[in-house]
């Protein structure tokens, strides 16, 4: 079995599940997952986890994401992007100035609240929101708190006088669970204008940037040539934020059986530590303050 992480480039038109299914066929193993869904109309970085790599998905997702895209003002859709039906139009409005755009984007930097789009995979009462939307049903959507660390304009905005729209190009750095479609809609709402996310590319995720990604075709070619593992990053790529301790033979024997370890053994005061043996990440242990010892939080490998 192949263990690790592949920074895959997800093309437009494919779902994240499509990509996972294709990778399973290429690598000939079932234990494959991704770290953060991308909509079909969004391309970019989609880290794919293989084998034991699936155990670090949460840590990849926690590292934040960076997107580049466009907000178009002048109309709104059911899906908050160009895939949906137009539900509002306000053509020939006064285009926003550079100062207004800068102020509007900065308004969303920090800890903010979002209402997920109806066309999203968020579950309410055991059903996906898009299930309600496709049936024409309404439901109260739960507000979520997300983190936006940077939201800036990339290029000069374009005004299409014939269409009655203005398009703003942006880059956003955000945390887990942020809906960039909703950022676009809320940006327009700030100025009393209907808006959509008209283009989006994820340029960084899970500590990988888009220059590091590989295509499905490249992956298939490498597999056929027996060079697949040249494209696979070890799971420690997702764990670099944690302190690391190299285990002795005796300690490793105990860890293999879920044994606890004293802080003095690990020479550590950290809340969480990655335990390594023979240069490989084996487990994540956390400090139990009540019992004054380190105990297993997640095991990555027992071999």
The overall average pLDDT reported for the chain is 92
Specify whether 131 is catalytic.
no
The predicted structure's pLDDT at residue 213: 97
Which of the pair, 212 or 128, is modelled with greater confidence?
212
Residues of the chain above pLDDT 90, percent: 73
- What is the average pLDDT across 20-42? 91
Domains and CATH numbers, the chain: 4-63+207-235 (3.30.2350.10), 65-202 (3.30.2350.10), 242-299 (2.30.130.10)
Instruction: Say whether pLDDT at 117 is over 90.
Output: no
**DSSP secondary structure string, the chain?**
---EEEEEEEPTT--HHHHHHHHHHHHT-S-EEESS---TT-EEEEEEEEGGGGGGHHHHHTT-EEEEEEEEESEEETTSBTTS-EEEE--S--PPPHHHHHHHHHTT-EEEEE---SSS--EETTEEHHHHHHTT---PPPPEEEEEEEEEE-S--EEETTTTEEEEEEEEEE-TT--HHHHHHHHHHHTT--EEEEEEEEEEETTEEGGG-B-HHHHHHHHHTT-GGGGPBPGGGG-TTSEEEEPPHHHHHHHHTT--B-HHHHT---SEEEEEETTEEEEEEEEETTTTEEEEEEE----
Q: Which of 11-20, 109-118, 227-236 has the lowest mean pLDDT?
A: 109-118
Picking from 148, 168, 171, the residue whose alpha carbon sits closest to that of residue 159 is 168
The predicted structure's pLDDT at residue 222: 95
pTM: 0.90
Segment 170-217, tens digit of pLDDT: 999 999 889 999 999 999 999 999 999 999 999 999 999 999 999 999
Q: Which of 18, 39, 58, 236 is catalytic?
A: 39
The predicted structure's pLDDT at residue 199: 97
Q: Which of 52-56, 133-137, 283-287 has the lowest mean pLDDT?
A: 133-137
């Amino acid at each position: 079995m192949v263990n690790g992480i592949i920074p895959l480039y997800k093309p437009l038109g494919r779902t994240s599940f499509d990509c996972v299914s294709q990778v399973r066929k290429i690598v000939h193993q079932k234990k494959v997952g991704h770290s953060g869904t991308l909509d079909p109309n969004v391309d970019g970085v989609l880290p794919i986890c293989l084998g034991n790599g699936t155990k670090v998905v949460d840590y990849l997702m926690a590292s934040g994401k960076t997107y580049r895209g466009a907000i178009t003002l002048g109309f709104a859709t059911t899906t908050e992007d160009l895939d949906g039906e137009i539900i509002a139009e306000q053509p020939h409005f006064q285009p926003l100035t550079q100062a207004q755009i800068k102020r509007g984007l900065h308004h969303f930097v920090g800890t903010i609240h979002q209402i997920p789009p109806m066309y999203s995979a968020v579950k309410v009462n055991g059903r996906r929101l898009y299930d309600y939307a496709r049936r024409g049903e309404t439901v109260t959507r739960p507000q979520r708190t997300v983190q936006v660390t940077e939201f800036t304009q990339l290029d000069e905005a374009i005004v299409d006088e014939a269409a009655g729209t203005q398009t703003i190009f942006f880059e956003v750095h955000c945390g887990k669970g942020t809906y960039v479609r909703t950022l676009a809609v809320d940006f327009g709402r700030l100025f009393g204008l209907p808006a959509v996310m008209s283009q989006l590319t994820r340029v960084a995720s899970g500590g990988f940037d888009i220059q590091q990604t590989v295509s499905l075709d490249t992956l298939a070619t490498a597999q056929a040539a027996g060079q697949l593992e040249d494209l696979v990053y070890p799971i420690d790529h997702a764990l670099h934020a944690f302190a690391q301790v190299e285990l002795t033979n005796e300690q490793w024997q105990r860890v293999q059986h879920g044994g606890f370890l004293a802080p003095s053994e690990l020479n550590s005061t950290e809340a969480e530590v990655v335990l390594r043996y023979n240069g490989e990440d084996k487990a994540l242990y956390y400090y139990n303050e009540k019992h004054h010892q380190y105990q297993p939080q997640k095991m990555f490998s027992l071999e």
